[in-house]
Chains A and B, each alone.
Chain A
Amino acid sequence: MRTAVSVFCAGAMLLSAVTIPIAAAEKVTSATILALVEKNYKDINDYKVDAEVTIDSPQLYVKGSKMTIYFKKPNKVKIEAKEGFAVMPQVFAGNPATEIKSKFNVEYTGDSKLGGEPVYVLKLTPKSTSAPGNMKLFVEKKRGVIVGSEAKANDMTMISRWTYVKVDKKYWLPSQIKVEMSGTLSSPAYDPDEVKVKPAKTGKGTAVIKLKNYQVNKGLSDKIFEQKKSSGK
């Protein structure tokens, strides 16, 4: 499941939105960039969105796993499977800037371009071993949204790209997160049928999270978030 761990960064920015670029005179630091990302939530009290996850890797294949994601300030998130069961890569389910600050040491390493757009480049180092490995994060200067990440962990490389949609002509929210993985994508596993341990699988894989039908600031009830989240049984 290292595949999936690696996808962690992929969904990182489910909740990015509108942006106010850092003022030219202000000195750019990791804190100001994260503040820029955080501002995206300023006018979003809640939202609901339909998500569909497709994963195609040597370890795991998921075809159109459908779910509904609910978000409410300050950081309430609920994800509900539409067909009884759903799976998605671990993501910063909530305010991404807050999540990043709590789990990583962040360093601003410079500017670059991604898809022709100028971006800030952040280097994220995990504070604990439970967090994913080091990664580079790209924050678009123009909109202040996270548009990509690159990470290397053990023998695996993950490259992710985010595309956005403008919801209600105001909020930039992700419409698709695509992650391309390569390298060692699974752990060795004992196969009782073959009576042998199968080696770890290497190769390439892709994970795509598609998000559509955003409903922003419709006044989601707290009751939605009170239900106990079930996982597995």
Chain B
Amino acid sequence: MITLVKLEIFKLVRRARSYLGFAALSALAGLVVLGLKEGPPPFEQSINQGFMTFGNILNGGFTAWFLLKLMMALFLPLFACVVIGDMVSGEANDGTLRTMLSRPVGRGKILFSKFIVSVLYVIALTFFIGVAGYMLGAIFLGRGALVTFQEGTALGAQGIYIYPEAEGLLRLLGAYAYASVAVLSVASIAFFISAFVTNSLGAIGGAMVLYIASNLLGIIKYFEPIKDYLFTTHMGNFGLFFINEIPKGDLLKSLGILFAYILAFLAAGLFVFHRKDVLS
């Protein structure tokens, strides 16, 4: 299995599209830092009413938090799907899948090794945006206490949490780890679709359509009874890490639902892949 995983990693690092997400997210992080540095302070009004503030709210920690909030809405799931949706379908499209399956290795092992590499990729991509954001923010904006806004908008925030730098970093670490699981829940849909299509665009598009549809269902009142079971409802719960007393029950419940989606799509992918008639 380790050999298979190594092989998949080798294939992943040799593919140009693997770096697309890293490059795009780096560029976006740079633009966000530029906007924060040169633009008007985005959240000052929320804090200043009734309080005296000193120093700079904008720093590496804030950038990492802000980027996570921004990127989780679309870019992280999209760039994860671009690669994960290509894991199997890309090989089918290239005509290498049949060759690979002709070797004396079980289909389950092959697919599972691809899934393990997908997990590693999602973790790397998610943490990359955090590290890039923190470092760019620290270089151009400085370091310091972490300020986050959990509810409302910049002009009407209700949940403002401010932590010392060290604690802020630990909370960011937790939030990014959670975000990895959340992104993986979308990516696992792309992985599943990738197992039975030969065009990676179908897998990427299919996963993104489901992601957007799930988001829409979550805001339509009629679907309120199923809202709790939609994976998109729980994707944004990385914010729980920034509440002073992290609601562990809610966090575990959300993680449970996200993992259930991941495992369900992995199982479905294995099922489909086992029965798949590989023609290319």
Q: A residues engaging B (CB < 8 A)?
A: 1-8, 56, 58-67, 79-81, 83-91, 93, 186-193, 195, 198, 201, 229-233
Contact = CB atoms under 8 A, between A and B. Distances in A.
Given A59-B160, A63-B163, A192 B153 contact: yes
- Which among B55, B165, B167 has the greatest number of chain A C-beta atoms within 10 A? B55
B56 A189 contact: no
Contact of B167 (A4, A63, A201): A63
B53 A85 contact: yes
Nearest to A56: B244
A15 to B, nearest CB: 15
A82 B153 CA distance: 27
B219 to A, nearest CB: 5
Given A3-B50, A87-B52, A232-B53, A64 B164 contact: yes
A63 B244 contact: yes
Interface residues of B, number: 42
B205 interface: no
Nearest to A229: B54
B160 A230 contact: no
**Smallest CB-CB A-B distances: 8 pairs:** A84-B144, A4-B50, A189-B152, A81-B55, A232-B44, A1-B49, A189-B156, A5-B50
Contacts of A193: 236
A58 B236 CA distance: 20
Contacts of A195: 219
A86 B53 contact: yes
A187 B157 CA distance: 9
Contacts of A190: 152-153, 156
28 contacts: A4-B49, A8-B50, A59-B158, A62-B161, A63-B162, A63-B163, A64-B164, A65-B145, A65-B162, A67-B54, A80-B54, A81-B54, A83-B164, A85-B57, A85-B162, A86-B55, A88-B54, A89-B51, A189-B152, A189-B153, A190-B152, A190-B156, A192-B153, A198-B152, A201-B158, A230-B55, A232-B41, A233-B41
B219 A87 contact: no
Contact of B44 (A56, A58, A84, A231): A231
User: Which DSSP category, helix, strand, loop or mixed, fits chain A's interface?
Assistant: mixed
A232 B50 contact: no
Nearest to A60: B160
Contacts of A81: 54-55, 144-145
Contacts of B58: 232-233
A231 B49 contact: no
Given A84-B142, A85-B145, A191-B152, A231 B157 contact: no
Interface string B36-56: 100011011011111111111
A3 B40 CA distance: 25
Contact of B50 (A2, A66, A229): A2
A28 B206 CA distance: 81
Contacts of A79: 52, 54
Interface in B135-188: 142-145, 147, 151-153, 156-165, 167
Interface string B126-139: 00000000000000
Contacts of A3: 50
Contacts of B49: 1, 4-5
B159 to A, nearest CB: 8
Contacts of A8: 50
B50 A85 contact: no
Given A8-B50, A233-B57, 5 more contacts: A60-B162, A63-B163, A86-B55, A87-B162, A89-B52
B118 interface: no
B59 interface: yes
A120 B49 CA distance: 31
Contacts of B243: 61
Q: Which of B48, B52, B159 has the most CB of A within 10 A?
A: B52
Contacts of B50: 1-8, 89-90
A88 B244 contact: no
B28 to A, nearest CB: 20
B47 A87 contact: yes
